[in-house]
Structure 1
Amino acid sequence: MDGLVEDDATTEGSKTMTLVEANISMSLDGFVTGPNLDRYPGLGEGGDILHAWIDEDRSMDLAIGEERQIAGAVITSRKVYDETEGWDAEDGFYRLPVFVVTHRPHDVVVKGETTFTFVTGGVKHAVEQAIGVAGDRRVHIMGGAGIIRQALAAGLVDELFLHVAPVILNGGTRLFDHLGGPIRLERAEVIESRHATHLRYRVLN
C-alpha cells in the first residue's frame, strides 16, 4: 500500500491549524453498520466485513497513524464507548486523549495513558477540546455515524477518510443522511488494499 498524506496540519501564514479528520469504514452503498442491530449489536448483520481491512498490514497506521503519531486526539460517541467498554484494554485507546460526546455526564476515565473525557456540550465543544490537546497532530473523529454527520453539517471537518469495503449491505446505519445540503469535496488520496478502497477527501465547504 502507498504511504499516506504526510502533513498533519495546515499552515496559514504563520499560524498552524490542527486538521480535523472524520475517519470511518463503510459499505459501497453508504452504510457503516449492517441491518438488524437489535439482533446483531455493534456492527449489525453482516457488518463485520466493513472492518476486515483492519487485519491488513499497517491497518492502524491507515486509521489513526499510530506508528507515525499522526493523531493527537480522538472524538467518539457514547454509544461506541459503551459498546467497546472503553476499548477494554489496559492502555485504553492507543495512549491518546479521547473525547466522548454524550448527553449523560460521567467522570473522567483513565486507562493507562488514555484519558476518556465525557463532553456534554456537543460535537463543537468536543472538537474545540480535542484541538486544544492535539497540538500539530490530527483530531480523529472515528464515529459513530451521528457524530460524523453532526461535525460535517457544522463545518467542523477538514478531511474525510473513508474505508470503503467491497460489499453492498442493502440496509443498516447510513453515514450521510440529513446533512442539510451539499458538501463539496476534493479528492486527496486513493489507497487500494485487499479488503477496502481507502479514499481521502478534503472538505471544501
Structure 2
Amino acid sequence: MTHIIADISISLDGYVTGPDPGLHNGLGNGGEGLHTWAFSDDPEDRRIVRETTERSGAVVLGRNLFDIVDGPKGWNDETGYGAREAGKPSLVVVTSAPPASVRTSDLDWTFAPTGVRDAVAVARERAEAASARSGKDLDVYVMGGGLTISSALDAGLIDVLTLHIAPVVLGGGTPLFTGGVPHTLTQRSVLRTPTATHIAYDVPR
C-alpha cells in the first residue's frame, strides 16, 4: 500500500530554512545545519537516508524548491534526492507556471499546475506504478518546502509526518507551520542520533 509521507528537516525553533533563502542560498543563512544529518556517516542517519530513498516511488515538491534543486548549485550526479544516495524517483512539482526547460533533464519531472491535491494524486499514481514494476510497496514523499508540506497536511493528504529536528536555532527563515488547520498527531517513533532527533507521527484522517 502506498502511503503519503511528509518528510523534512527542521530547526529547534521551527524553521525549514534560515533567513534570506533564495536561488543561490537555498537553505538561507545558517540553514546548512538543518541537513548535517543527511550527509552524516553515523550508521543510523545513513540507514534513514538509504531506506527513505529506496521507499520513494514518487516525490512532491513546491516550485521554489524545484528552482533550487534544478538550479546551478542544485542536484548533480553525486548529490541529489536522498543526499549522497542521489535517487531518481518520479518528481512532481506543484506550480502554476511550469518552466520552459529543466537543467536536470535526466530526472522524471512532472509539473502539476492545479494545486497540491492534484500533485499528490499524480505522485500516488507514479508510486503505485513503480510499486507494480518493482514488486514492493513504495510511498509518496512530500519533501517540501514548508508551504507545500503544510498545505498538504491541512488538506488531509498526509498519512505520516516525519521531522528531522536539527540541534540548531536559526532565529528566522521559513517556518513549517504558520497557523491553519489544527492537528492532533500520534507519535510513531523517535530516534536520536548525534546530528538530529528523528520523529515520525501518524496523521489521523
TM-score range, shorter chain: 0.7 to 0.9
In the other structure, the counterpart of 1:5 is: none
Q: Any conservation in 2 of the 1:34–1:43 contact (CA below 8 Å)?
A: yes
Q: Any conservation in 2 of the 1:89–1:111 contact (CA below 8 Å)?
A: no
* Structure 1 counterpart of 2:18, from 34, 50, 56: 34
In the other structure, the counterpart of 1:12 is: none
Residue 48 (str. 1) matches residue 32 (str. 2): yes
Give the aligned residue type for 2:89.
L
Q: Under a length normalisation based on structure 2, what TM-score does the superposition of the two structures give?
A: 0.81
How far 1:56 moved relative to its partner?
1.6
Bigger mean CA deviation after superposition, 51-60 or 129-138: 51-60
1: CA distance between counterparts of 2:147 and 2:35?
Answer: 18
In the other structure, the counterpart of 2:138 is: 137
Q: Any conservation in 2 of the 1:27–1:166 contact (CA below 8 Å)?
A: yes
2: CA distance between counterparts of 1:204 and 1:134?
Answer: 22
1: CA distance between counterparts of 2:153 and 2:174?
Answer: 17
2: CA distance between counterparts of 1:184 and 1:36?
Answer: 31
In the other structure, the counterpart of 2:88 is: 95
CA spacing shift, 1:158–1:120, aligned 2, 3 Å: same
* Structure 1 counterpart of 2:66, from 81, 85, 88: 81
Q: Any conservation in 2 of the 1:72–1:133 contact (CA below 8 Å)?
A: yes
In the other structure, the counterpart of 1:25 is: 9
Structure with greater proportional strand content: 1
Structure with greater proportional helix content: 2
1: CA distance between counterparts of 2:202 and 2:178?
Answer: 19
In the other structure, the counterpart of 1:124 is: 117
Structure 2 unpaired stretches of 5+:
82-86, 129-136
Work out the number of aligned pairs and report it: 186
Q: Any conservation in 1 of the 2:23–2:68 contact (CA below 8 Å)?
A: no
Deviations 1:22-75 (A, max 9, x none): 0000001111111233697211111111111011236464246256x2110001
How far 1:129 moved relative to its partner?
0.5
CA spacing shift, 1:66–1:152, aligned 2, 3 Å: closer
Deviations 1:142-199 (A, max 9, x none): 0000100110010000000000011222211110113x23111001111111110000
In the other structure, the counterpart of 1:14 is: none
Bigger mean CA deviation after superposition, 195-204 or 100-109: 100-109
Structure 1 unpaired stretches of 5+:
1-8, 10-17
Give the aligned residue type for 1:123.
V
Runs of 4+ in 1 over 6 A off after TM superposition: none
In the other structure, the counterpart of 2:48 is: 62
How far 1:83 moved relative to its partner?
1.0
In the other structure, the counterpart of 2:132 is: none
Q: Under a length normalisation based on structure 1, what TM-score does the superposition of the two structures give?
A: 0.81
Q: Any conservation in 2 of the 1:100–1:118 contact (CA below 8 Å)?
A: yes
Give the aligned residue type for 2:76.
A
